[in-house]
Amino acid sequence: MRAGRVIFYWLGAMAVWLLLTWTVHWQSLVVGALVTLIAALAFGQQLPVMPLRLFNPRRWFWLLVYIPVFAWQCFKANLDVAMRVLSPGLQLRPGIVRMKTSLKTDIARTFLANSITLTPGTMTVEIKEDVLYIHWIDVQSEDPEKAARIIKGPFEKLLARIFD
């Protein structure tokens, strides 16, 4: 593991420690330094993003765009599910949809899977390489490409700009 990467993650974790403890007592600083150093040494290699990529302003811009888009998609899905709950006569067609993604990195695919799961009415069941299996409360299309477009919505394009 590269020393610069460990130092970067250690300093970042220490900053989070200071924000969470909100104190500068020497005991807290010593414990925080030790705990965050151990965490950086143990898990720094597992973190998927290179430290310098975190400072790219283009990625931050698209992240700030993604947040309200995600909130809007969740709001619409919540209304849809609420309507289905309040209208018990509606016929549901639940099913598992196989969906290919063009996202390249594991972290981007994980964010896509979590975004889909956090949107009511859908849940990511499994991820295998570039294929996601999604449980959908009401399968709206038998065509895999059209179903994938409906489920992914704007998530995939924005996540590609943030992570890939």
pLDDT along the chain (164 residues), means of 10: 77 91 90 93 72 77 94 93 86 90 89 93 92 91 87 91 85
**Cβ atoms 134, 96 nearer than 8 A:** yes
Single pTM value for the model: 0.73
What are φ and ψ of residue 2, in 5° steps? -75, 135
Q: What pLDDT, on the 0 to 100 scale, is given for residue 138?
A: 87
- What are the angstrom distances between the C-alpha of 75 and each of 28, 58, 81, 82, 134? 41, 26, 10, 11, 19
Please state, in angstroms and rounded to a whole number, the distance separating the CA atoms of residues 104 and 163: 9
Q: What pLDDT, on the 0 to 100 scale, is given for residue 46?
A: 67
What are φ and ψ of residue 127, in 5° steps? -125, 125
